[in-house]
Amino acid sequence: MNRPLSLTLSHKGRGDFIPHAPMPSRSIPTHPAQILLVKTSSMGDVIHNLPVVSDLKARFPDARIDWVVEEAFADIPRLHPDVREVFPVALRRWKKALFLPATWREIGAARRAIAAADYDVVLDTQGLVKSAWISRWAKGARLGHNAKSAREPLAARAYDATFFVPKTLHAVTRNRQLAAAALGYELPSEIASDIDYGLTGAQSENSRSAVFFTATSRADKLWSEANWINLGRALAARGLSLLLPGGNFEERARADRIARHIPNAQAIPPMRLADLATLIAHARFAVGVDTGLAHLAAAVKTPILALYTATDPGLTGVLGANWFKNLGGKGKPPTLQEALTALMPFLPANA
């Protein structure tokens, strides 16, 4: 049995979503059998959307869940066992070559692949014009943020039904609240502590390795190399070995400079995200700046200390079911001593 599309929803208070005037175009199944999620980028945002899959599967155990994602991050939804098919798109690459025939052939192929299935629900949790554009490629009731809730208000015009979720909530919670409002189910009252990214972490208490994520997309988000070196030396003195991943040339060079000054530290070459997730899952803990890899550590249940220097972690900081801690903030880089103090519970008892 289908229910009529609930109208644009507004938020009156915690958990209260109030319907407005009806939108007559499509109906939303009460038990959708096929669901398409649209969350294309960036790495942290894609990771923040994984708990939506877990929530949907718990509410609709027989549903097929597919996902549209930027090609560079396609391995992330594939890590979740309940995502059946992943549709990679290349919006970033296409944008740079819009006048090439090959680009439009790729766009056409991606559009045909997404349109091949008949979805009951197409849920865009990103709320951008580009993600709304992609949602229009799919067949099904298209749901998303309303104009007051979306990151780009114009995106709301692309959906058959829209919903308001406060922008003051953490990104993970916003995604989960949007899905629950759109598909008519309730989330646990302790939503902040009831997070399931769907990824299995390894037992890491006996591991003697830790992972440092020293690189990020912006220079003002970096923690000083001197701090990384001193932190690494303190951890090495406690018998830990350190692994420093790096993606592009600049990131690898930074990791190598830091590792060369720390005993038993290694700058590791680029890895597939799936392989990197496994490496992180086997670590005793991880320390990272504001980067998607810090969120990946939280997702695989590895204890993660996140260091913020130029952004506020309140809305997009790491959030996990295992131990996590966000240190610092905009214009308030954490000190070396603060980082060491936070990590004390995870240090080996003997060197």
- Tens digit of pLDDT per residue, the chain (351 long)? 333 333 333 333 333 333 333 343 567 888 999 999 999 999 999 999 999 999 999 999 999 999 999 999 999 999 999 999 999 999 999 999 999 999 999 999 999 999 999 999 999 999 999 999 999 999 999 999 999 999 999 999 999 999 999 999 999 999 999 999 999 999 988 776 789 999 987 656 779 999 999 999 899 999 999 999 999 999 999 999 999 999 999 999 999 999 999 999 999 999 999 999 999 999 999 999 999 999 999 999 999 999 999 999 999 999 998 999 999 999 999 999 999 999 999 998 765
pLDDT of residue 350: 63
User: Are 149 and 29 within one domain?
Assistant: yes
- What's the CA gap between 261 and 24, in Å, rounded? 65
The end-to-end CA distance of the chain, in Å, is 63
Q: Which amino acid is at 273?
A: L
Same domain as 216, residue 174:
no
In a domain, 196, yes or no: no
Residue of 265, 260, 229, 298 lying closest to 51 (CA atoms):
298
> Could you tell me if residue 57 is inside a domain?
yes
Instruction: Flag whether 160 is in a domain.
Output: yes
Tell me, yes or no, whether 7 and 134 share the same domain: yes
For residue 203, the model assigns a pLDDT of 58
pLDDT digits 0-9 by tens, 310-346: 999 999 999 998 999 999 999 999 999 999 999 999 9
Q: Is the dihedral of CA 164, 166, 167, 172 positive or negative?
A: negative
Q: What is the pTM of this model?
A: 0.90
Same domain, residue pair 174 and 214: no
Q: Are residues 54 and 176 in the same domain?
A: yes
- Residue ending a domain, among 126, 148, 183, is 183
Assess if residue 202 is contained within a domain.
Answer: no
The structure tokens 């629950």 sit at: 180
Task: State which residues form the domain around 25.
Answer: 2-183
Can you state the angle between helices 249-259 and 225-236, rounded to 10 degrees?
A: 50
CB 265 within 8 A of CB 241: yes
According to the model, what pLDDT value does residue 191 have? Answer: 73
Task: Report the CATH number that the domain containing residue 286 is assigned in CATH.
Answer: 3.40.50.2000
